Amino acid sequence: MAINRRKEMETDIQRKEIETEISVSEVMNKTVVTLEINTEIPVLAREMVRQNVGSVIITKD
């Protein structure tokens, strides 16, 4: 009986996930941040926070 209830709960969770619609623009940022390969990590981290981004493209000359 407990196994069936767990499957029902998992199915309910999956339905809720499917019903939630999110557009790409809601989770993506148009800003592309690039930094040189020799940029120090603290500087990179501050720039990420300042630009509100989760990743940075590292360039080499």
The reported pLDDT for the residue numbered 38 is: 96
The reported pLDDT for the residue numbered 60 is: 93
Question: Can you give the pTM of this predicted structure?
Answer: 0.54
Please report which helix (H) or strand (E) contains residue 34, including its range: strand 34-36
> Are the C-beta atoms of residues 35 and 58 closer than 8 Å to each other?
yes
The domain segmentation of the chain, as residue ranges, is 23-61
Give CA–CA dist 8/31, Å, rounded.
42
Taking only the tens place, the pLDDT of each residue in 9-59 is 666 666 666 666 777 777 777 788 999 999 999 999 999 999 988 899 999
